[in-house]
Amino acid sequence: MNTARAELGASKLEELRFDNSYGRLPPAFYTRLSPTPLPDPYLVAFNPDAADLIGLARAEAGRNEFAEIFCGNRLLPGFDPLAAIYAGHQFGGFVPQLGDGRTILLGEATGASGRWDLQLKGSGVTPYSRMGDGRAVLRSSIREYLASEAMHALGIPTTRALCIVGSDQPVIREDIETAAVLTRIAPSHVRFGSFELFSSRRQHDHVRTLADYVIDQHYPQLREAAQPFLELLREVIGRTARLIAQWQSVGFCHGVMNTDNMSILGITIDYGPYGFIEGFDWGHICNHTDHGGRYAYNMQPRIAHWNLYCLAESLLPLINMEEAEEALEAFGEQFELNYAALMRAKFGLASGHAEDTALMQDTLKLLHDSRADYTTFFRRLGNFDSASDADNAPLRDLVVERDAFAAWAARYRLRLALEAGTDAARKARMDQVNPKYVLRNHLAESAIRKAADQRDYSEIERLMRVLTRPFDEQAAMQAYAEPAAPGSAAPAVSCSS
């Protein structure tokens, strides 16, 4: 046996152990089926960090079988592939039946670091595909791969990405593209919509079975509570409040916050038409099919709250309505507390003062009025000279109105005077929370173009290296911190992405 591998306890593909606890739930929860074969698959991207999580030896990515396995052409012993059924509120309207229309759950890898669902996304039609072809295109697979790892590096709970396998098989979208399969991993892919399915069908025994399953697998500490189902709701509310506060603080827009895209674990799931805000706009809409702006940036907290109402409603067979409403009412405060703490850190404020909320809101208004680049502004804010404005030109250059900037800078300086410590110490703290690098659409787009047009996957690798150290200066990578060149067309992203 290879000693390095033995030391790490990492396994060869065939040595991985799998279980599928979801597959032990009643048959009404899923359909067992095999992935649809993908012709001539090849490896496009591999993420060693995710391999470590499931206990897979990194060198295994070099084997010919690897691409065959992670596009679904070949099954490993212990795989138990199935597509889960769920429902959901899409753009406010209830859809009684949805499901894994293009993903297949292979099972849970049961390595040293817990149980990890392995899901193939783009692995062919299932009974829940509706009119879809069951495929994902290379473009959207690269977008999800990069975004989920970038979010993880920012400290935001998310599904992770193991690899992308490509094929020359054509797939028709707005243009003709090629197929790919993304393998993603997460402790669970159960969604709010999984509960909504059974409650809308009045299958209360299944609602209970699912709630019991989620508690046993993911919230075992709630088992002993007097009211475990109510506590489950409270936990999901708390985690979702924290998650959305994190999204808001880094300027992440999900784009399609339907209840079937909301995780019961409070992690970011189903990356589609997402975007990181560049020129700051409260009402930024990243999904070009979201005409009404239902999922605009400033709507995300409200929508999360609305989605949690849907979840609570589906749990009503198990919990008391007044207590559920009380739990839901706590969302706003939990979101605000989390958001305020994250934003105070972004502003370099270690203490809390009554006027902080107003200062932070007015700063965002300053950014909004100039459409100043959100990430750049906060990174440069770390260099703010509290003694004089002479050195604050790089920050001032992001704001159109000179007088407005001067008034704001004077106010921020007064606030900083209430803080202990030096400018240098504050900058060091701020650089740990204000990323220099986020996944800008044009960066993803250039990696996609190289991959799709030239089969050159090096830009995916390079971008991944930059994005997984978002707080480090990485002097040679300055270009990756820049917004798109003015006038360059932003790629449109939609649900079909």
**Coil, helix or strand at residue 248:** helix
By CB under 6 A, tell whether 169 contacts ligand AMP: no
By CB under 6 A, tell whether 127 contacts ligand AMP: no
Q: How many residues bind ligand AMP (CB under 6 A)?
A: 17
By CB under 6 A, tell whether 270 contacts ligand AMP: yes
By CB under 6 A, tell whether 173 contacts ligand AMP: no
Helix axes 321-346, 423-431, angle to 10 degrees: 130
Contact 120, 66 (CB under 8 A): no
Q: Long-range contacts for 408-416 (Cβ within 8 Å, ≥24 apart)? A: 408/362, 408/363, 408/366, 409/384, 411/359, 411/362, 412/347, 412/359, 412/363, 412/384, 413/386, 415/349, 415/353, 415/355, 415/356, 415/359, 416/348, 416/384, 416/386
List alpha helices for 347-422, DSSP H: 356-370, 374-381, 393-396, 402-416
Question: How many CA atoms lie less than 13 Å away from 425 in the CB half-sphere?
Answer: 7
Report the residue number, 42 or 91, with the smaller CB distance to ligand AMP: 91
Report the residue number, 245 or 493, with the smaller CB distance to ligand AMP: 493
Binding to ligand AMP by CB under 6 A, coded x per residue (else -) over 86-115, reads ------------xxxxx-------------
**Coil, helix or strand at residue 441:** helix
By CB under 6 A, tell whether 341 contacts ligand AMP: no
Residue 79: Cβ within 10 Å count: 20
From the list ligand AMP, Mg ion, none, partner contacted by residue 100 (C-beta under 5 to 8 A by kind)? ligand AMP
**Nearest approach, Cβ of 452 to ligand AMP (angstroms)?**
17
Supply the residues annotated as catalytic: 260
From the list Mg ion, ligand AMP, none, partner contacted by residue 134 (C-beta under 5 to 8 A by kind)? ligand AMP
CA angle 377, 382, 392 (to 5 degrees): 70
**Nearest approach, Cβ of 304 to Mg ion (angstroms)?**
16
By CB under 6 A, tell whether 160 contacts ligand AMP: no
By CB under 6 A, tell whether 133 contacts ligand AMP: yes
By CB under 6 A, tell whether 261 contacts ligand AMP: yes
- Out of 134, 251, 255, 348, the only residue in the binding site for ligand AMP (CB under 6 A) is 134
DSSP per position, 150-193: HHHHTT--B-EEEEEEEEEEEEESSSEEEEEEEEEEES---BHH
By CB under 6 A, tell whether 129 contacts ligand AMP: yes
By CB under 6 A, tell whether 360 contacts ligand AMP: no
**Nearest approach, Cβ of 153 to ligand AMP (angstroms)?**
23
Rounded Cα distance between 31 and 4, Å, is 40
Candidate segments 56-64, 255-263, 330-338, 395-403, binder of ligand AMP by CB under 6 A: 255-263
From the list ligand AMP, Mg ion, none, partner contacted by residue 311 (C-beta under 5 to 8 A by kind)? none
From the list ligand AMP, Mg ion, none, partner contacted by residue 373 (C-beta under 5 to 8 A by kind)? none
By CB under 6 A, tell whether 35 contacts ligand AMP: no
- Out of 9, 132, 352, 394, the only residue in the binding site for ligand AMP (CB under 6 A) is 132
Strand partners, 252: 276
Rounded Cα distance between 162 and 184, Å, is 6
**Nearest approach, Cβ of 260 to Mg ion (angstroms)?**
5
- Out of 142, 230, 256, 367, the only residue in the binding site for ligand AMP (CB under 6 A) is 256
Residue 78: Cβ within 10 Å count: 16
Report the residue number, 259 or 370, with the smaller CB distance to ligand AMP: 259
From the list ligand AMP, Mg ion, none, partner contacted by residue 101 (C-beta under 5 to 8 A by kind)? ligand AMP
Residue 402: Cβ within 10 Å count: 9
Interaction site with ligand AMP (CB under 6 A): 98-102, 128-129, 132-135, 256, 258, 261, 270, 272, 495
